[in-house]
Structure 1
Amino acid sequence: MSRLLILSAGAILALTSAAPAMASTAPAMQPLKISKECSQYTGDTPSFCTITESNLAAIPAGTKIFYYGPVTGSPLFSSSAAVITVGNGDSAVGYCVVYDTASPPLGTCAFHAGSGTLAGFQAVVKVTVDDKQIWHWDGGYLLGAAK
């Protein structure tokens, strides 16, 4: 029994000491800053917002972000599949949750896949809105072949 405990403790110690090494091999995320206006967002499925500014050339101003629900019209929050559609097969898919009852509204979006110029796109962004009703995404991204 004590031999099993020693072996288990040794295995746990080996895994814990390897964790920082594995984490350090993760690619560095690049900063992502996007602003969008949502004057045409209706809450219907799909609804969309239009990007007005982006620091990522692969997602230029004028790009639409479509929201497919399941929750797009609640006064409390939205919880939705999101698709960034640049055009010509260039797109990225993810999921957003925004707490509309927060003051100001606050949320998170995470993107896990893309195609065309957005192949391998992964991102995690904080969602905020300013007093001019411009929505902001601030976070980080990876772009390239997914592994």
Structure 2
Amino acid sequence: MSASSTFLVASLFVISALSAPAIAADEPKLQPLKFSKDCSNYSGETPSFCTIVESTLKEIPVGTKVLYYGPVTNSPLFTSSSVVLAVAPGDSTIGYCIVYDTATPPTGHCAFSAGSGSLAGFQAILNVTVDDKKIWHWEGGYILGAAPK
């Protein structure tokens, strides 16, 4: 085999290896998730809180407190805050939310990256909206269990 033939075969091998789709080992699939929360007790102080009034996830039931720790919880323009969903002692999850409060209607995103107890490995990405009755909605997807390595 000539040097140019060997180069051609090696090049074709590299190109085919690079263009082959990557095979993910047990890639987690996001499950649908929806929360609704009442923020009538939200003060803008640290921490402020809302209360879950609807949940599609049994590990985060109705009545769960959503605690906001800032750094920005009382701006007239936006909220940018660390968030804790406090279900019970030892069962919680942490995340971060940013909401454009002066948009019409207000809109934003929340991402949760870790949890403890019954929420160990909880990760979620959620869109934030609010309805005419001032009930806030988080909707998106989640995984629960061991975090990917």
Which structure 2 residues correspond to residues 1-147 of structure 1 after superposition, within 5 A? 10=14, 14-15=17-18, 17-19=20-22, 21-22=23-24, 25-147=26-148
Q: Find the structure with the greater CA-based Rg.
A: 2
With the length of structure 1 as denominator, give the TM-score of the two structures.
0.87
CA RMSD of aligned residues (A): 2.0
Name the amino acid aligned to 2:57. Answer: L
Distance 2:125 2:109 in 1: 7
Name the amino acid aligned to 2:71. Answer: P
Give the equivalent residue in structure 1 for 2:3.
none
Name the amino acid aligned to 1:91. Answer: S
Q: What runs of 5+ residues in structure 2 fail to find an aligned partner?
A: 1-6
Deviation at 1:101, TM superposition (A): 1.0
Distance 2:58 2:101 in 1: 29
Name the amino acid aligned to 1:134. Answer: I
Runs of 4+ in 1 over 2 A off after TM superposition: 13-19
Distance 2:17 2:32 in 1: 33
Distance 2:99 2:19 in 1: 35
Q: What runs of 5+ residues in structure 1 fail to find an aligned partner?
A: none
Deviation at 1:146, TM superposition (A): 1.4
Name the amino acid aligned to 1:17. Answer: A
In the comparison of the two structures, how many residue pairs are matched?
Answer: 139
